[in-house]
Chain A
């Protein structure tokens, strides 16, 4: 276990917050919990905070609002967002606002820990801000056909297959086929990973 990190955990759901904090502590890290976005932003954040674990769907101030606020403040500490199942548009938007990674609930705890550790390590390694364009990701994406790339871009926008089909003048059936091909070529299992790869490749910027 590579060192202990100080993680800020923002989640309104008591059970999720408690259990996640317990899990992370057991993994050897220190956790500072907050019950909501407002509370989090209003507090004096510790100097040595390594990363922020942010739930997206919260009453009052939701995750995206917190991200925007952080950006405005110029706070570039690594943020990992937790989204609900299938919440791709929200995840993509969060990544655009600077989130380093996202996880869909419920997630295997191992993945959470790995993601946190990755994020915190990256932070110490890369002094400049901005997601590093991953050469590996760029290669993978470059191997896509024009249609597959089109579907990937649509996914990045959070569009359902129907809309992608409509805008491209294709049938839904065709889009679904390209989607499957694209996922296979990228070597990813599902939407979340495809999206992460796309962003890592620098797609969907601007």
Chain B
């Protein structure tokens, strides 16, 4: 080879190297520019992201932090670089976060996403959502993590409010005394509160998902589906928003009265019904007891009125008796003075005349007083109304026979047809009956007979001539013959302290009702008093 060829080859080679180098350098520069450009874009993305971004190394230290992250956390980049992840995680969330990092490191997962709390530099706690992914090296091992951090505090707070609000409603639902059940449009139970268990005896798990008609007696249950269907079709509210008393059926099959109110509501286009139920068996019992005691009270008030009237009469009689004594005393005085005068021998009529005149005046005065008594008895204030004969008897018995049984008297009250009515002043006829009963009891107790139980028989029955016959009979000593005729006259009595008003008053009251009274008696065997009143027939329309 010639030396010039060598030089030429060398020159050519150098030229190639130069050219190649220039080419490569150009390419290298071009590539660098691209890389630089790419790098710059990456920087911008990283720096200007609206979310917090950071690179964490395997030890939990930051190698890169964007501005947003700093802003979230409140520390500067320099401060954060000197800290580890654990320094900013809320103590309660640290353990969980370490576990996540371990999994990532171990390659168990590619990415983690979790909500946790950070503690800012100023001490405030914020909620964040952190997504982490691992970046692997050439060997496939995790090299560092990229974290994307989003603050979710407002959402978390709203959630908390929601949960707390929900907890409150749940508490209201559960703590309600009434049993509350929610069903869908097909009658399927969605939820029940605790009181349902208490009222019906079912646990919640036994009811949710089943048809509500499980809680109804068969007779109502079989129609319930139809009711629901009809409501869906027509929209006619029979119970919704209205409330009603229905019968419920417990788990053990027993039935009880329920107060039910139903409300309707919608969610996501679906219809639901809420039933609020209250067991009212206690209330019904109380209402029944109240009614019974009101009846009792009315009965007692009637008795009281009766007694007051009778007492009035007694007092009136006493007052009148006293009043009558005045003119009687005067009459006795005047006439006796006259007698003294005649005994002394006075025959002067003019001397006697004023005495006799005054005595006469006083007698008329006494008559006036008696007339007032008759007025009181006759008019008596009460209006006449149709009354059941049986009830009149019962009221009188309640009054007159308080101590009869305890004194050993047997009382037989005959069954009286309910529809047997008389148009009377109830208080006056009760007085008559009570009077007769009292007399009978007194007579029997006053003359007890060996081997015979004192027995009082009371009855009311239809009698001829459209009348009702009330009878009070005893097995006492009977009426002595000598007074039998005058028994109903005033001031006739067999009692030591009797005023003799009873039977004459009875006659007066009975006759004022267009009735009559009579006695049948066998001395030594007993007496039976019967009075008749006109039968009342209700006018039919």
Residue B168 CB within 8 A of the other chain? no
Residue B528 CB within 8 A of the other chain? no
The listed residue with most A CB atoms (<10 A of its CB), out of B328, B332, B340, B407, is: B332
11 inter-chain pairs at a CB distance below 8 angstroms, sorted by A residue, are A13-B330, A19-B331, A22-B333, A57-B322, A84-B325, A105-B328, A106-B332, A107-B332, A109-B332, A109-B336, A171-B407
- Find out whether the CB atom of A16 lies under 8 angstroms from the CB atom of B329: yes
Taking the closest CB of chain A, its distance from the CB of B41, in whole angstroms, is 118
- Find out whether the CB atom of B358 lies under 8 angstroms from the CB atom of A15: yes
Which residue of B has the minimal Cβ distance to A84? B322
Residue B365 CB within 8 A of the other chain? yes
Chain B residue contacts of A107, Cβ below 8 A: 329, 332
Chain B interface mostly helix, strand, loop or mixed? Answer: helix
| Interface size grouping (class) on chain B | 20 to 34
Task: Select B333's contact among A20, A57, A85, A171, beta carbons within 8 Å.
Answer: A20
Residue B246 CB within 8 A of the other chain? no
Taking the closest CB of chain B, its distance from the CB of A188, in whole angstroms, is 14
- Find out whether the CB atom of B322 lies under 8 angstroms from the CB atom of A85: yes
Distance in angstroms between the alpha carbons of A21 and B341 in the assembled complex = 15
Given that A84-B321, A176-B496 are contacting pairs, would A13 and B326 also be in contact in the complex, using a CB cutoff of 8 Å?
A: yes
Which residue of B has the minimal Cβ distance to A25? B337
The 5 closest A-B pairs by CB, nearest first: A19-B333, A15-B330, A84-B322, A109-B336, A106-B329
- Find out whether the CB atom of A85 lies under 8 angstroms from the CB atom of B325: yes
Chain A residue contacts of B416, Cβ below 8 A: none
Chain B residue contacts of A108, Cβ below 8 A: 332
Contact with B along A52-82 (1 / 0, CB 8 A): 0000010000000000000000000000000
Which residue of B has the minimal Cβ distance to A112? B333
- Find out whether the CB atom of A180 lies under 8 angstroms from the CB atom of B496: yes
Chain B residue contacts of A20, Cβ below 8 A: 329, 333
Chain B residue contacts of A85, Cβ below 8 A: 321-322, 325
Chain A residue contacts of B62, Cβ below 8 A: none
Chain B residue contacts of A33, Cβ below 8 A: none
Residue B490 CB within 8 A of the other chain? no
- Find out whether the CB atom of B327 lies under 8 angstroms from the CB atom of A173: no
- Find out whether the CB atom of A19 lies under 8 angstroms from the CB atom of B322: no
Chain B residue contacts of A26, Cβ below 8 A: 337, 340-341
- Find out whether the CB atom of B330 lies under 8 angstroms from the CB atom of A16: yes
- Find out whether the CB atom of A105 lies under 8 angstroms from the CB atom of B326: yes
Distance in angstroms between the alpha carbons of A23 and B336 in the assembled complex = 7
- Find out whether the CB atom of A19 lies under 8 angstroms from the CB atom of B358: yes
Chain A residue contacts of B318, Cβ below 8 A: 86
Contact with A along B404-423 (1 / 0, CB 8 A): 00010000000000000000
Which residue of B has the minimal Cβ distance to A57? B322
Contact with B along A91-124 (1 / 0, CB 8 A): 0000000000000011111000000000000000
Chain A residue contacts of B362, Cβ below 8 A: 15, 19
